[in-house]
C-alpha cells in the first residue's frame, strides 16, 4: 500500500536539493615547490580559481561462479576499482597565468631528474641533443592534500573527498582565437591511487525544518541569485557574479534566528484591606 506523505515531509525532504555550484578545492604543494607556491595569493588563489571538477566514483570488479549451485550464476567481488584520474578546470588570471605555470612547473620537476637549475633549464631544453630523466615517485607525488569539498549555501553539512598519492598527468590544450573573447580556462588531469570520503558514518541530514527556517533558506537562495545576476550585468564577469552571489547567500543564510520575546501581561496589584485600629 502506498505511503501517504505529509506536506511537512515533502518540504523537509524534497525542497532542499543539492546544487552543483557550491564546492571548494584544495590543491597540494609538493616539497620541491613549497618556496615558490606556498603562501597567500598563490596556493589559495589557484584553489579559488578552480571552476569545474567532478565528484569521483568507483566500481567493484567481480568474477562469476557457475558451479556452486545448479543452474545459478553468482557474482562475487574481488576488487574495488577507482577512477584513474580527476579533471580540474581553472580560470586563468591575466598577466600571471598562475594555474598554467604551477602545473607546468610540477611536470617540469617530474622530468628534471638531472636537476638542471631554473636558470639553465631553458638553454638545456633548446638543445637538439637534450635528454631527460624522471624523478623518484615519492619526490613528485603528493601523498595527500588534494580535497574536493561539496557544501550547500547554508554551509552546514559537508561532503569531502580526499585523494591519495596525487600528481599531474596532463595539461589539456587551450585554444585561443581572434573571435569574440571568452574566459581562458586550463584543464588539468591528476592521477591518484584512491580517494577517501570523510564523515561517511554521518547519516543524519538536515533536521526537520520549520516554516521560518525554510523561508530563510529560500530567501538566501533568491538573494544570492539576484546579486549574481546584477554583478554579471555590471561587470560582464561571471566569476565575480558567482562569488558575490555566494557571499550574499551565505550572509543571509547565516543570520541567526532570534526568538521573539515572550510577553506576559502584568499582574494586577492585589488590593490591601484597610487596617482598623482597635480602641485601646
The cell numbers describing 237, all together, are 564577469
Look at residue 257 in the predicted model and tell me its pLDDT. Answer: 45
Identify the CA nearest to 28 among candidates 88, 117, 91: 88
How large is the greatest C-alpha to C-alpha distance in the chain, in angstroms? 132
Q: Which residues of the chain have pLDDT under 70?
A: 1, 11-12, 113-114, 118-119, 200-225, 227-229, 231-233, 235-266, 278-280
4 φ, ψ (degrees, to nearest 5): -85, 120
**CATH number of the domain located at residue range(s) 18-59+81-204 in this protein:** 2.30.110
Look at residue 270 in the predicted model and tell me its pLDDT. Answer: 72
Look at residue 255 in the predicted model and tell me its pLDDT. Answer: 47
Residue 99 to residue 45: CA distance in whole angstroms? 9
Query: E strands, 54-184, where?
Result: 58-69, 72-82, 85-91, 146-150, 159-164, 167-171
β-bridge partners, 257: none
Look at residue 146 in the predicted model and tell me its pLDDT. Answer: 94
Identify the CA nearest to 208 among candidates 19, 8, 6: 8
Asked if 60 contacts 79 with a C-beta cutoff of 8 angstroms, the reply is yes
Look at residue 137 in the predicted model and tell me its pLDDT. Answer: 92
Long-range interactions of 195-201: CB distance < 8 A, separation 24+: 195/56, 195/58, 195/82, 195/161, 195/162, 195/163, 195/164, 196/161, 196/162, 196/164, 197/159, 197/160, 197/161, 198/158, 198/160, 198/161, 198/162, 199/158, 199/159, 199/160
Long-range interactions of 201-204: CB distance < 8 A, separation 24+: 202/157
Residue 19 neighbours by CB under 8 Å, 6+ apart: 152, 153
Look at residue 223 in the predicted model and tell me its pLDDT. Answer: 62
CA torsion angle for 61, 67, 69, 70 (degrees, to 10)?
130
Could you tell me the pTM of the whole model? 0.67
Look at residue 248 in the predicted model and tell me its pLDDT. Answer: 62
Amino acid at each position: 500500500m502506498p505511503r501517504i506523505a505529509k506536506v511537512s515531509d515533502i518540504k523537509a525532504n524534497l525542497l532542499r536539493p543539492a546544487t552543483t555550484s557550491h564546492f571548494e578545492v584544495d590543491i597540494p604543494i609538493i616539497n620541491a615547490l613549497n618556496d615558490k607556491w606556498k603562501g597567500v595569493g598563490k596556493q589559495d588563489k589557484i584553489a579559488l580559481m578552480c571552476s569545474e571538477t567532478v565528484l569521483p566514483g568507483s566500481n567493484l570488479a567481480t568474477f562469476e561462479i557457475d558451479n556452486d549451485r545448479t543452474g545459478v550464476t553468482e557474482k562475487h567481488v574481488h576488487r574495488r576499482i577507482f577512477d584513474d584520474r580527476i579533471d580540474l578546470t581553472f580560470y586563468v588570471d591575466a598577466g600571471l597565468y598562475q594555474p598554467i605555470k604551477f602545473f607546468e612547473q610540477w611536470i617540469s620537476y617530474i622530468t628534471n631528474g638531472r636537476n638542471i637549475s631554473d636558470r639553465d633549464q631553458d638553454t638545456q631544453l633548446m638543445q637538439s641533443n637534450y635528454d631527460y630523466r624522471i624523478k623518484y615517485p615519492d619526490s613528485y607525488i603528493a601523498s595527500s592534500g588534494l580535497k574536493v569539498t561539496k557544501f550547500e549555501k547554508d554551509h552546514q553539512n559537508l561532503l569531502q573527498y580526499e585523494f591519495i598519492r596525487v600528481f599531474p598527468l596532463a595539461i589539456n590544450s587551450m585554444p585561443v582565437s581572434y573571435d569574440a573573447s571568452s574566459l581562458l580556462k586550463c584543464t588539468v588531469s591528476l592521477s591518484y591511487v584512491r580517494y577517501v570520503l570523510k564523515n561517511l558514518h554521518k547519516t543524519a541530514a538536515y533536521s526537520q525544518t520549520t516554516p521560518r527556517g525554510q523561508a530563510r533558506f529560500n530567501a538566501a537562495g533568491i538573494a544570492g541569485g539576484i546579486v549574481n545576476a546584477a554583478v554579471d550585468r555590471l561587470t560582464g564577469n561571471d566569476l565575480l557574479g558567482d562569488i558575490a552571489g555566494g557571499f550574499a547567500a551565505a550572509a543571509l543564510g547565516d543570520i541567526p534566528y532570534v526568538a521573539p520575546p515572550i510577553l506576559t501581561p502584568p499582574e494586577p496589584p492585589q488590593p490591601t484591606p484597610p487596617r482598623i485600629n482597635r480602641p485601646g
